[in-house]
């Protein structure tokens, strides 16, 4: 099953818009900001969507900026984001999907509640046939597999 849900431990108040595709042939699901905020020039800001995604264990949700954001000098700080299936309902943040946005401009970038902050694309992935069994389980949220 593949679906989006609103996280219970939200970081914002008010209504949350679940990700949607803009057209019937769009690959990406647009994510929307649940808050008003400003990204200062040459700065980075983490914006949590207050949305989580459940999907199959052989799938990944790839996060990207939209082309409109790119032409305005707003990029993901890590180029793309990878959301693994076991990020859903993790103990640290319930699987809240965050976008680490970087403003490459010399002027502040304003984000209003309901503005697009990125998009997510679901895809299958493969593993090697001779991989050793992995016993590690996710124990955290954002950036936790580096620890």
Across residues 81-87, what is the average pLDDT? 95
pLDDT at 145 over 60: no
Give the pLDDT of residue 9: 85
Q: Which of 29, 12, 13 has the alpha carbon at shortest distance from 116? A: 29
- Residue 14 near residue 33, CB atoms below 8 Å: no
- Residue 144 near residue 92, CB atoms below 8 Å: yes
* Token couple for 140: 């955290």
pLDDT bracket for residue 143 (50, 70, 90): low
pLDDT higher for 111 or 11? Answer: 111
- Between CA 120 and CA 105 the distance in angstroms is 24
Q: In the chain, what are the domain boundaries? A: 3-125
Q: Which of 78, 46, 85 has the alpha carbon at shortest distance from 63? A: 78
Q: How far is CA 30 from the centre of its chain?
A: 10
SS3 51: strand
Average pLDDT value for the chain: 92
CATH number of 3-125: 2.70.40.10
pTM, whole model, 2 decimals? Answer: 0.89
The number of beta carbons lying within 10 Å of the beta carbon of residue 7 is: 18
* Token couple for 128: 């090697």
- Between CA 134 and CA 46 the distance in angstroms is 30
Tokens 């900001």, residue?
33
pLDDT bracket for residue 111 (50, 70, 90): very high
């Amino acid at each position: 099953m593949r679906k989006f849900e609103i996280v219970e431990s939200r970081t914002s108040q008010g209504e949350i818009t679940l990700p949607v595709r803009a057209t019937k042939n769009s690959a990406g699901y647009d994510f929307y900001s649940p808050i008003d905020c400003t990204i200062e020039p040459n700065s980075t800001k983490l914006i949590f969507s207050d949305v989580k995604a459940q999907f199959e264990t052989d799938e990944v949700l790839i996060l990207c900026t939209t082309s409109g954001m790119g032409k305005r000098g707003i990029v993901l700080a890590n180029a793309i984001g990878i959301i693994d299936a076991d990020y859903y309902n993790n103990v640290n943040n319930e699987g809240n999907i965050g976008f680490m946005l970087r403003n490459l401009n010399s002027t502040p970038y304003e984000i209003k509640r309901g503005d697009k902050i990125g998009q997510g694309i679901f895809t299958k992935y493969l593993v090697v046939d001779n991989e050793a069994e992995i016993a590690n389980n996710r124990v955290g949220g954002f950036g936790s597999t580096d620890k």
